[in-house]
Amino acid sequence: MKIKALYIHIPFCRMICSYCDFYKMVAKPSLQTEYINHLIKELELKKPYLKDIQTIYIGGGTPTALPLHLLDFLFYYLHQNIDFTQVKEFTIEGNPNDITEELTELLVKWNVNRVSLGVQTLHKEKLKFLNRNHHEKEVRNAVALLKKAGIKNINADIIFGTPQDNWKLIRSDLTKIINMGVTHLSVYSLILEEKTILYYLFQKNQFQPMNPDTEALLYNKIKGFLKKYGFKQYETSNFALKGKESIHNLTYWNNESYAGIGSGASYYIDYIRYTNIKNLNSYFKGVSTDQLIFEEQIVITKEEQMMEEMMLGLRKTEGVSLRNFQDKFHCTIEEAFPKIKQLIREKKLFIKKNHIIIPESLQFVANSILMEFV
Ligand code: SF4
């Protein structure tokens, strides 16, 4: 299977958000330099897998927290190892207060054409609760600078479900952010993950998460509101203006192969799912001896591949193509999952235009429907 997508993990942040359980750390510049040197070495090791790359996604962490000279260095080596004439989408994640004129110039110089901003909200108290270190003015400034530099494909990540949230707050945030000119919105409900500051506060009884029914109500209002503004939902949490869907993320939801580099990066090649070790010293040791060390290396059996095809594909509003499934696995979806017929009878799934789909009204509880396959 062709590998068309490359994920690059930068595990550094300026500060730690209260809800975040991603692999990240606050690090000194010398460690960041050492990391980028090893990342480039891993990139060179992986070169044989990178000849068909069409999308690149630099995520984290906060890639824009890197000093500009390190980003420049990384971009230079990406161009040395990847045929950029084939690259359609090149995304970098960033925090609004990192976006400066110098950074946007650098991004344009190296063909970055999509920026995903960790906005979450514009509301002061909610920002404080999430331990985010930007303000509305900086989000406005970031989007304006990106557009001025010619980067018009801009995503904003939004979180809802905090104790501050209500429809008025979210509607105000969404209206302002849409008017700034973003083209894509990723809207996630707050998940209380263990080993986060919020989880600790929750255990100390210092806040209560939003009731799931209220959360579902808000989600439906968000969907309706975004639709009116021309943002088409194409995945459970993702909405885009026409033609601005993330090609890179669709690779994941279509259950296709992808490459990855960096400590903590996951990748899926030849039906094996790898996650690079989440420890910088071990990562450096593995890369320098050409013997990568993995956090996980799991062979995905045919049954698991079929399951993943459904779990990932049903997150898309267009659902899973019956024909693609049969071409890939040489059996029908009904043969692979006899329970499907019952779920269709119960109206938890339906078939339209040769695709199997979760009804719009059940998208918020999609996970529980997916669990019924297991
Ligand atoms: S949410 Fe993003 S910016 Fe905040 S700590 Fe996690 S990775 Fe860093």
Evaluate whether 235 touches 243 at the Cβ level (below 8 Å): no
Cβ atoms within 10 Å, residue 128: 12
Burial environment of residue 6 by CB neighbours within 10 A (0 to 12, 13 to 18, 19 or more): buried
What is the set of domains in the chain, with CATH numbers? Answer: 5-253 (3.20.20.70), 319-371 (no CATH)
Distance CA 98, CA 92 (A): 12
**Angle (nearest 5°) at CA 124 between 133 and 148:** 65
Burial environment of residue 347 by CB neighbours within 10 A (0 to 12, 13 to 18, 19 or more): exposed
DSSP state of 316: B
Q: Cα dihedral angle (192, 275, 90, 246), rounded to 10 degrees?
A: -50
Cβ atoms within 10 Å, residue 154: 21
293 lines ligand 1 (CB under 6 A): no
Short-list 338, 248, 263, 340, CA closest to 295: 263
User: How long a stretch of residues is the chain?
Assistant: 374
The token duo for 46 is: 């992986």
Query: Picking from 139-148, 289-298, 340-349, which range would have the lowest pLDDT averaged per residue?
Result: 340-349
The protein residue whose alpha carbon is closest to atom 6 in ligand 1 is 20
60 lines ligand 1 (CB under 6 A): yes
Q: How far apart are the first and last CA of the chain?
A: 26
The token duo for 268 is: 């899926």
Using the atom order of ligand 1, give the atom closest to the CA of residue 21. Answer: 6
62 lines ligand 1 (CB under 6 A): yes
Q: What is the pLDDT of residues 38-81, one digit of tens each?
A: 999 999 999 999 999 999 999 999 999 999 999 999 999 999 99
Tokens 């049903």 label which residue? 314
118 lines ligand 1 (CB under 6 A): yes
Per-residue pLDDT, 60: 95
117 lines ligand 1 (CB under 6 A): no
Taking the centre of ligand 1 as the mean of its atom positions, its distance from the CA of residue 65, in whole angstroms, is: 11
270-275: Cβ within 8 A, 24+ apart? 270/1, 271/299, 271/300, 271/305, 272/297, 272/298, 272/299, 272/300, 273/297, 273/298, 273/300
pLDDT at 290 over 90: yes
Short-list 67, 89, 123, CA closest to 5: 89
pTM of the model: 0.96
16 lines ligand 1 (CB under 6 A): yes
Band of the pLDDT at 374, cuts 50, 70, 90? low
- What are the b/e assignments for 166-191, b being 16+ CB within 10 Å? eeebbeebbeebbebebbbbbbebbe
Average pLDDT over the chain, rounded to whole? 96
Give mean pLDDT, residues 137-148.
98
Give mean pLDDT, residues 198-210.
94
Evaluate whether 183 touches 240 at the Cβ level (below 8 Å): yes
Q: What is the pLDDT of residues 295-309, one digit of tens each?
A: 999 999 999 999 999
Evaluate whether 319 touches 356 at the Cβ level (below 8 Å): yes
pLDDT at 24 over 70: yes
CA distances from 258 to 51, 106, 153, 305 (A): 12, 26, 22, 14
Give mean pLDDT, residues 306-327.
96
Q: What is the pLDDT of residues 76-118, one digit of tens each?
A: 999 999 999 999 999 999 999 999 999 999 999 999 999 999 9
Evaluate whether 101 touches 146 at the Cβ level (below 8 Å): no
